[in-house]
Every structure is written in C-alpha cells, then in structure tokens.
Structure 1
Amino acid sequence: MSPVLRAVLPAAALVLAACSEGTTESAPPPADAPPAAVLSGTDLNQPLRVLGTEPFWGLDVTAEGLSWSGVDETPLTAPNPGPGMMGAMAVWRTQTTDGQPLVLTLIATECSDGMSDRIYPLTARVELGERDFQGCAASRAFIESQPAP
C-alpha cells in the first residue's frame, strides 16, 4: 500500500463514520394512532365544536362520536369514522343512531358566526337527513381560549 493511501484511509474512515452517525430513522407512529388530519392549523383528531345560528345548533366531534344538538330538537349521536381528507376539505360520513345520514364537511376558510366578533378557522356544512346547516368550526381548545362572545 502506498504511503499516500495509508495516510488517506484513516481520514476517509472517520468521515464515513461521522456521516453515518446522524442517519437514524425516526420511529413510526403507533399502529393505533389515527393518521394526521390537519386543516387550517386545526388538528381534526382533537375534540371539535361545529356551530351555527338561526336556528342555533351544534355538533361536537370527539373520538367517541358525533353529538348533534339543536333548539327544540332531540339530541342525536353517531359513530365517528374519522375524516376523509380532500385537499382543503375534510368530510365525515356517518349515520345517527336513529338511522339518519349525517355528513360533516369542514373547509379551510375563516368563518364568522354572524352573532359575535369571533372568527373561526373553519367553515362547516352539516347535512342531517334532508336538512342542511351552514356554520363555523374550531377545536374545543380554540373556542375555550377565546373571550366569551
């Protein structure tokens, strides 16, 4: 082996070792973790509140399910299948325990409820049976951090 090669080989080995130390793979998410679903900075896997006015109505979205409430209406529940992501939209398709189709669509556009100065990060549409409702949505944490309207 030439003297130049003998001098270069140890240095080359050190460079290769240094480069390979920083290439650790990150651990994959746990198998039971829901896939990341984020819209307008809102983590859709966290509890959400969807609401509207005229008439007042609300839809809570949690891992356990969707819960509908409205003025002078019987509360309804439905399983949460998780959102289907389509670009700047997320869509939940499910059925209430009394058999009505329930479709929740969230769109990544700011929304005003028309009754307060609050601006929500998401615009919402709820199709419940034959009825359509327009409103706003945000994480429960966002809503609870805002001053009361």
Structure 2
Amino acid sequence: MKPTIVLASLLLAACSTPPSVDASRLPATPGAAQMGKRAPGDAADPLQVFRIFGTEPFWNVNVEGDRLVYSTPDDPAGVQLQGRRRAIPGGVEITGSRDGRAFVLTVAQGECNDGMSDQTYRLVAGFRFGDLDLSGCGEAAK
C-alpha cells in the first residue's frame, strides 16, 4: 500500500466516532466513582462539585465543597448557603442554616430520571430548605 493511502486510512480511523460504551458493563474499580459526567482524566472526588435539580417546581442547587447556591427560575442568581458536610452511605449530606431557615441536602448514588426527559442521572437527591421539601436528580459538574 502506498504511504499516502496508509496515512489517509489512519486519519479517517482517528476521526471516526468510537462505539458507545455501556458504563454499567465496565468492572468497578475500587475507589472509582461511578456517577455523573466528568472530563476525561478528572480524578477529583465527584461529590465535591456537582449540581442537583428538579422539576415541578423547577429548581437547582450547585454545590462546590460545602457551599451551595439554590436557584429557581424566579431567582436565577440564587441564595448562597454555607453548610457542613458529612459522609453517608453512598453519598454526602450537607446541612446548615441561613436567616433562621435550616437546610439539608442529601445526595446518594442511584438511578434517577427527572420525569421530563429520557435522561438518566446517577445521583438521587433530596433538598429541604425551611418549609420547602424537594427531590431531584444530579450529576457531577461538567
């Protein structure tokens, strides 16, 4: 085969889309988290930076360490919350209060569907803030 044909074949092979991999069929690696979307090679703890969200009503909590930002379509800037983290089986719980309103965010590994899309997420969450009691899905930050 001529070198240009070989080179062209290699370039085409490199540009083709790889077959999709069903992550649930991969063997578990001790210490490896199996949740959320992450950049290739990102070895950071996935329960350090993630987002939780729900529908009906729409809400969102962005988490970075023990800091949370709770937002809604009516308040897109959101409310900043500072909490205390503790490990729970398969996840994390962050608790605290702001202006006399207690909050608890509980996040654990599990299959979750937001009820509006065909998307399946790998985090299940509950968020209580004052008298609000919400449940939703989540993923590691992108």
TM tier relative to shorter chain: 0.5 to 0.7
User: Displacement, 1:108?
Assistant: 1.6
| 8 A Cα contact 1:62 1:80, kept in partner | no
Note if contact 1:94-1:102 (Cα within 8 Å) is conserved in structure 2: yes
Alignment correspondent of 1:8: none
Which region of structure 1 is more displaced relative to structure 2, 59-68 or 48-57? Answer: 59-68
Match of 2:60 among 32, 46, 58: 58
SS of alignment partner, residue 124 of structure 2: strand
Quote the residue 2:96 is aligned against: 94
How far apart are residue 72 of structure 1 and its match?
2.3
**Which residue of structure 2 aligns with residue 21 of structure 1?**
none
More helix by share: 1
Where do 1:1-149 residues align within 5 Å?
40-41=34-35, 43-45=46-48, 47-63=49-65, 65-73=67-75, 75-82=78-85, 84-96=86-98, 98-141=99-142
Question: Could you say which structure has the greater relative contact order, defined with CA pairs below 8 angstroms and 6 or more residues apart?
Answer: 2
TM-score, normalization: structure 1?
0.60
SS in 2 for 1:126: strand
Distance 1:40 1:95, change over 3 A: farther
Shift of 1:38: 7.6
The structure in which a higher percent of residues are strand is 2
RMSD value over aligned CA atoms? Answer: 2.3
TM-score (norm 2): 0.63
Query: Runs of 4+ in structure 1 displaced over 4 angstroms?
Result: 37-42
Deviation at 1:118, TM superposition (A): 1.1
Consecutive unaligned residues in structure 1, runs of 5 or more: 1-36, 142-149
- Shift of the 61–130 alpha-carbon distance from structure 1 to 2, 3 Å rule, reads same
Q: State the 1:67 CA deviation.
A: 0.2
Q: Deviations over 1:45-73 (max 9, x none)?
A: 2x211000001000000137100001324
Alignment coverage as a number of residue pairs: 102
SS in 2 for 1:117: coil
Answer with 1 or 2: which has the greater Rg.
1
The amino acid that maps onto 1:112 is: N
Residues 38 and 55 of structure 1: CA distance in aligned 2, closer, same or farther (over 3 Å): farther
Unpaired segments of 5 or more residues in structure 2? 1-30, 37-45
Change (3 A) 1:101 1:38: farther
Return the offset for 1:76: 0.9
Query: Percent identity of the aligned residues?
Result: 30
